[in-house]
Structures are given as structure tokens and as C-alpha cells.
Amino acid sequence: MSSDTATPQRAGHFLPGDAPPYGDILNCMHCGLCLPTCPTYTLTGSERSSPRGRIQLMRGVADGKLELTPTFAHEMFFCLGCLACETACPAGVDYGGLLEAARTQVVRHRPPRGVKALAQRLAFGMFENLALLRLVALAMRCYQASGLRALVHRTGLLRLLGRLGEMEGLMPTISVRPSSATVPVETAPVGPERERVGVLLGCVMDVAGAAENEATVRLLARHGCRVIAPPLGCCGALHAHAGDLPRARRMAKEVIAAFEAAQVDCVVLNSAGCGAAMKEYGHWLHDDPVWAERAAAFAARVLDLTEFLTSRPLAPGGRPLGLTVTYHDACHLNHAQKVNSPPRKLLQALPGVRLIELPEAGWCCGSAGIYNITHFPEAVALLDRKMANIAATGADLVVTGNPGCLVQLQYGVRRHGLRCEAIHTATLLDRIYGGSDG
């Protein structure tokens, strides 16, 4: 994540603070190996919608040759942030760091106004205020469980709403109770205690992924862990992706302090997006004299659930399910965290599971945080490509390790009428080890 310290920093038309590091910009050799891996370049064929094109735009602003125009802003937020380009890049360009800094500059130069500003404040406030998030989730739950949703579908009202009606299908199924109400702050291990592990129940996962959170805690307890789940909400990932690094840093400090107080050996994540962000805390806070060392030490102790379980002996037993499974790589697990072997190793070790490799497993499904809301047509085009590959495997299950991908894939299964179930990795493991019949 570090730039060449000998390279002079240039701000150009960027505002001071959180400008894309000039040394990282210069690291791009413009070789073009990123082009075939980039979803937006593949969709548009436009050079400026490619990773190297966006880096060239950043260099133009840093050199003072370009202003932060609406076109610049559009391209920074048109990117999915999937980071497939980082995996392909022979020079190791920190594209993710450049993108977050560029988006932060866009927001500082062109802060949202009017209705857009109000909507953003409400959305971000919801992720920071768990009571507000639960209230919104309750309203969604009532819509889904009361029969109102079924009535809306039967009447054909959604067709009259056009794209907004189509986007209704992306609504996640809200849990009956949030995991923060069902998962205790401390869960004792099953059998002898091996280690003390922290988990983040999160924001969206808390209200729409309670079953996955509960399954994760049961799995860790079965593997000899004392599980600590502090009362925390958002990790700051969504804010960082949206160009609000200052607020993301404040949330990161709250997370670090809570897990430090819990005195855990490591922190295990079941959300690829959260895990990628928390592994970046050291980078986010590297200039903070009070938090830099603490953030780096914390980030080094963050593990994805599959990383954790493949580095420990699997619990004995387990009931064979006799299922064919394929695996979708969440971008922020595969490209951001470079975790691609552990999930496959874990699935191959499960009794009664036959793993079939998914063609283009590392290609983005189109979820990308809130991208499937802000860029719905492009997200659906990527999803259709993904679902065609899933259908070709003939798998009974498609498994993934990120809640955003899971919601997107479940929408894709319904959209394409596939006889395939999309589930979280923790859910499959929990079924095999007796925690849930699904």
C-alpha cells in the first residue's frame, strides 16, 4: 500500500489530504493486462472505463491538466471496485487505495445536495445507528411477511414502477429477529477451549443475515472457540467505498477499541466486504500517530471464516448431504484479501460434497456494495453472465462468502428460474455439522 517515498507528491487540482498517492499513480505501466479482467471495460469498450484509464484521469488531475469534472466523478463511481485488476496487475498497483482516495476527492469537491444529500445522510445514518437500521428492517419485514409483498406481486403493480419495480427483487429477506438479539456477547466453546475469537455481527448482516451470523457462532463454538460478539454495527466499509474516508476511520477506531477491550486472539469475519475493510485499517489510519500501530496490529489478526477453519482441524463428524456444489468468489475475498484457496479446500474436505469449479468464478456478480442499486442495468448484465455459468455447472448449491453477493445470486436464481440454491459458506457448514436443516 505504500508509495515510492522518493516520488514527489503532486496535488494538482486535488484538495490536500486523501489525494491519490502520486507514486502509486506512476506505478501503473499501462500494459493493459487489466483490461480483459475489468467488468466495466468489458461492458463499454471505453478506455476511460478501464483501470488504467481511470488512473490516467487521476494523473491528469494530479498534474493539474484536468479538473475534477462530472466525467471524472462518473468514472470513479462507475467502477465496481471489484479489484480484479489488482490480481492481474504485474506491477502491484494499489488500485483500490487510489480509487477510494479519488472518490473521497470527488465527494469533497462535489458534495451531494438536495434530495441526494438527504438520501445519503439517511442511508449512512442508518448504518451508524443500529436502532434506526432495525426500525427500517422491521418495516421491510412487515412488508415481506404480512402478505403485502405477495399482493403487490399479484396485482402487477411492480411492472408499473418500471426499473424501481425490478429493483424490488433485490430486497434481502429480513430476519425475524436481528442476530444482535439472538447471539450473546459471549458464547462458550463446545468442549475444551482452544482460543478466544471475536466476530462482527455488523449492520446489514445483523438484520438480513442473522441466520448466517448464528451459524458462524455455532461453528466457531464447535471448533473450541469462546466467541465474543461486541455490540458493534458497521465497520466503515460502505462509507469508504462511497468516498467518506473520514467517517470510515471514525468507525474503524470504534471497532478496534471494542475488540481490544474484548482481548480476543483473532477476529473472524463471515462477510468478505467487512473483512477486506478491516484488513485495511492499518492503511486507513497509517498517518494517525495514536492509532497507526494499533490499527496495523488489529488488521493482522483479522481472518475470513474459511481462512480460520482451514488452519485448524475440522470438527469430527458431520452428516453427508450428497450434494453437488459450486463456489462463487466474492471479489473482496478473492481479489482484495487474496483468499481463494481456503474456501475450496474447506468445501472439498466436507463429507458428501462434490465441488465443481465455476467458470469465471472470480468474475464480479454485480453486487459490489450498493452498485446493484446505483447502476442496476450494468449490475444485471454482470449477473446474467454469472447465472449462465452457474446453470452450466448443474450444481445443487452455489456457495459464496459475502452477504451482498448472496442477495445478488439469490435474485439471479429467481430471475433465471434455476433449480439451484444460493447459500452462504457458513450455512452449508452448519447444515453438515448439525446446526441447521436449512
d(CA 334, CA 84): 8
Count of CA atoms in the C-beta half-sphere (13 A) of 61: 29
Q: What is the pLDDT of residue 5?
A: 43
The confidence score (pLDDT) of residue 168 equals 86
C-alpha cell at 405: 453477493
Q: How many CB atoms lie within 10 A of CB 345?
A: 13
pLDDT digit string, tens, across residues 79-104 = 999 999 999 999 999 999 999 999 99
Nearest residue to 373 (alpha-carbon basis) of 224, 176, 164, 79 = 164
For residue 172, the tally of other CB atoms under 10 A from its CB is 20
pLDDT of 392-413, one tens digit each?
A: 999 999 999 999 999 999 999 9
Higher-pLDDT residue of 228 and 437 is: 228
Q: How many Å apart are CA 324 and CA 84, to the nearest integer?
A: 27
CA dihedral of 379, 380, 386, 391, whole degrees rounded to 10: 160
Beta carbons of 360 and 385 less than 8 angstroms apart: yes
Instruction: Dump pLDDT digits (tens) for 9-38.
Output: 667 889 988 899 999 999 999 999 999 999
pTM: 0.92
Contact (Cβ atoms closer than 8 angstroms) between residue 255 and residue 127: no
**Range scoring the smallest mean pLDDT among 152-161, 182-191, 284-293, 393-402:** 152-161
pLDDT single digits (tens) 146-157 = 888 888 888 888
Average pLDDT in the 332-346 region?
Answer: 96
Contact 280, 299 (CB under 8 A): yes
Residue 118 confidence (pLDDT): 72
Instruction: Point out the least confidently predicted range of 6-20, 76-90, 220-234, 351-365.
Output: 6-20
- Give the per-residue pLDDT at 8: 55
Quote the pLDDT of residue 436.
Answer: 58
Q: Is CATH 3.40.50.1860 correct for 323-432?
A: yes
Single-letter amino acid, residue 340:
N
Q: What is the mean pLDDT of residues 326-355?
A: 96
Q: What mean pLDDT value characterizes the chain?
A: 92
pLDDT confidence of residue 197: 98
Task: Answer with the residue of higher pLDDT: 318 or 359.
Answer: 359
User: For position 50, what pLDDT does the model report?
Assistant: 98
The full set of domain ranges for the chain reads 22-109, 124-170, 179-310, 323-432
Contact 34, 88 (CB under 8 A): yes
- The HSE-up count of residue 413 (CA atoms within 13 Å, CB side) is 17
DSSP state of 12: T
Please give the Cα distance from 393 to 325 (Å, whole number). 9
Q: What are the residues facing 422 on neighbouring strands?
A: 398
pLDDT of residue 209: 94
pLDDT at 9 (0 to 100): 63
pLDDT tens-place string over residues 258-267: 999 999 999 9
Question: Hey, what's the cell of 260?
Answer: 481490544
Given a cut of 50, whether residue 364 has pLDDT beyond it is yes
Lookup result for grid cell 465441488: 355
Are residues 361 and 121 in contact, defined by beta-carbon separation less than 8 angstroms? no
Instruction: Report whether 93 contacts 27 (CB < 8 A).
Output: yes
Taking each helix axis from N to C end, the angle separating 292-299 and 245-262, rounded to the nearest 10 degrees, works out to 70
Residues across the chain: 438
Dihedral angle computed from the Cα positions of residues 158, 169, 242 and 279, in that order, rounded to the nearest 10 degrees: 170
Q: Which residue has the cell 488489529?
A: 298
Top-level class of domain 22-109: mainly alpha
Q: Tell me which fold the domain 179-310 belongs to.
A: Glutathione S-transferase Yfyf (Class Pi); Chain A, domain 2 (1.20.1050)
Return d(Cα 364, Cα 352) in angstroms, integer: 28
Q: Are 424 and 310 in contact (CB under 8 A)?
A: no
Sheet with 421-424: list strands edge to edge.
Answer: 353-356, 323-327, 397-400, 421-424
pLDDT band at 164 (very low <50, low <70, confident <90, very high): confident
Rounded-to-integer distance, Cα 180 and Cα 210, Å: 8
Per-residue pLDDT band for 6 (boundaries 50, 70, 90) equals: very low
Average pLDDT over residues 281-306: 97
Q: Do domains 179-310 and 323-432 have the same CATH topology?
A: no
Q: Under a CB-based contact definition with an 8 Å cutoff, are residues 63 and 78 in contact?
A: no
In this structure, of 186-195, 224-233, 248-257, 315-324, the range with the lowest mean pLDDT score is: 315-324
* Phi, psi (rounded to 5 degrees) for 379: -65, -40
Percent of the residues in the chain that have a pLDDT greater than 90, as a whole number = 74
- The pLDDT, as a whole number, for residue 155 is 87
